[in-house]
Amino acid sequence: MIAPSLSRQKSMQIFPTPSGIKRSAQSPAPASPEGCVRVFARAFALLSALALTLGLQGCAASGQKPDAERYDRLVEELAGGQSDAWAELPEVFLGREDFAARLARLEALQGEARGQNGAEDLDRLGRGMLDAYYGDLRAHELLQRLAFAAGDEARGEFHRQALSNLTAVIEASGSGIASDPWRVISATEAFVWLSSQRHEIAGALYHGNDAEGTLALVLKARRRDQDNLRELWFDLTPTYQATRRVLGEDSPKPSELIAARARDGDAAAQTSYAIRLWHRGHAESTVQAVHWLQRASAEGNVIAREMLGVVYGVIARNRSGEEAEQLIDAAVDQFLLAVGQGSSTALYNLGQLYLSGHFGSENQPAGVDLLRQAVERDNLDAMVLLARLRYNGQFVGQDRAAALQLLARAAAGGHPEGQLFYARHQLSTDDGEGFDDQALEWLRQAAESGESAEAMLLYGSLLARGEYTERDAEEAVHWFKQAASQARDADTVNTVAWILVVAEQHDLRDPEHGLALMEALMTQDQAAAMNAAYLDTWAASHAAIGDFERAVEIQKQAVAVAEAEHAKREDGGPDYLPLLREHLEKFRNGETVSEDVP
């Protein structure tokens, strides 16, 4: 059973719901905010030390004496007011060989403190926490409160200032975005710090990169005086790398660590593990992904609820009849739960579902209303989709000025699709007069995001031609190759290969790379292998490296395919048949193709 965070009656008041949509038969009681706090505190505790048991084993097996002198000296200076180097404390602490054991002890003491009310016991536990790690936020906050309550102003002021310094260190370590996360030594520290900043946490997941050996915590939270959930990033890599230093070859990969913590009940890890399973695309992994997302959703994790709704919707596309309807109902239920927690992502996904016509064409306008609500919560995806609707006049009146304003907001927020859309529009109007330095910068950012092969190709083309920026052939070729490696469509690969093979400007050429792209495409994609234009590029690639015999052989196939198309079509197409025959004659004569591209 999935525990929702809002009742059906409350959720129906958030946005218009068309009649006739089935709801789940059962509607469990909403989860309280206090319950969510306990859930996340427990989940974060499981990963706060990053493989504590393994860390303890590693310390015992290393045979090295703990390098504690620097840490002990720094703690003594900080405690005596002889130093203000609080920023050095996390790094120096992680330099100890016994840091994992200390984090384990810290976590145990924090758990014990949550069940205590007596001042004497709390004071003992707070001191024990500081003995384990002197930079613990919760310990300083606890001891500050106890000191002021006992009338010990000096001691209270010391812990208040220490807490202020430690929170400032985290604040100064980043900006909380994916490319510039805040640095913390544990997930628990991130949770405590955000709580001290008057944030309420609605969801969490871990982001691990096995190749780079990095680990991050992603939280969805909002300030207590605001409605919008924000995605906040915390870097756990230093703690993970410290664990690797201790364990050496026995150290688990981030993905292995996340999978282990998912099995231990960590809702953030369960969500991350489920997303990894879902991306595998296999039937068995899909079933497992749903299982883990359901468990995390039941714990109140809004990210799991957002993702589970999407997964149900995707699965429903391959089902029919009552089964498909039940899956869509389940998706809507998850989105409603997430909306109740403040999720603009769920509003956006619900908007897409309405616009798709699943609930009838008469209810499609409700999708626009949902997108508007998501835009009001600064959802970048909703801005781009609503901008497309206004740009083309779909479901709403055409208003390109309003569409461009939305695109500019999304682009400024770092949305690659919005950045590309804005740049393309400015290039397409008034001979590109509207394309300025800002549009160029957004296009560059879209290319650098790694999410848009189109942006890479367009940015590379501008660099290759020297339009709106200085010409840089080497950089242009780099982006062309990146576009081909990221592209999911054969046309982009073919376009890049053509540029690398036939460009009149020889500093744009790399025929060997172009040939490699076409060899992979034409041997792996049966439809591409029967495309006359792609066959033409493949033949030109062989000719460019001097293999004219193979070029002639392939070009004959291109001509034959084009002739077959010509015979089938009443309009006589395709119009490129003469060009294909011209290229065939060139290859027969030992000549290559050269063209002004891109």
Q: Is the peptide bond before 416 cis (omega within 30 degrees of 0)?
A: no
- Tokens 């591409």 appear where? 528
CA distance 160 to 141: 7
Q: How far is CA 82 from CA 49, 74, 75, 78, 337, in A?
A: 29, 9, 10, 6, 51
Long-range contacts of the stretch 221-226 (C-beta < 8 A, 24+): 221/194, 222/342, 223/197, 223/198, 223/199, 224/198, 224/199, 224/200, 225/198
pLDDT < 70 positions in the chain: 1-66, 431-432, 571-574
Q: What confidence score (pLDDT) does residue 571 get?
A: 67
Burial of 424 (0-12, 13-18, 19+ CB in 10 A): middle
The tokens of 519 are what? 């060899």
- Phi, psi of 356, deg, nearest 5: -65, -15
CA distance 83 to 277: 48
The tokens of 350 are what? 């619900």
Task: For 224-332, list the strands marked E by DSSP.
Answer: 230-235
Helix (H) or strand (E) segment spanning residue 120: helix 119-132
Total residues found in the chain within this entry: 598
The widest CA-to-CA distance across the chain, in whole angstroms, is: 98
Could you tell me which residues come within 8 angstroms of residue 117 by beta carbon, excluding any fewer than 6 positions away?
none
Helix (H) or strand (E) segment spanning residue 564: helix 548-568
Task: Give the orientation angle of helix 380-392 with respect to helix 364-376, to 10 degrees.
Answer: 130
What are the beta bridge partners of residue 223?
199
Could you tell me which residues come within 8 angstroms of residue 90 by beta carbon, excluding any fewer than 6 positions away?
135, 169, 183, 184, 185, 238
Helix (H) or strand (E) segment spanning residue 500: helix 490-502
The pTM (predicted TM-score) of the whole model is 0.81
Q: What confidence score (pLDDT) does residue 501 get?
A: 97
CA distance 177 to 232: 6
Which letter does DSSP use for residue 180 in this model?
A: B
What are the beta bridge partners of residue 215?
208
- Tokens 């009649």 appear where? 19
Looking at this protein, which amino acid is placed at residue 487? Answer: A
The tokens of 260 are what? 């282990």
Q: Taking Cα atoms as reference points, which of 274, 316, 303 lies closest to residue 291?
A: 274
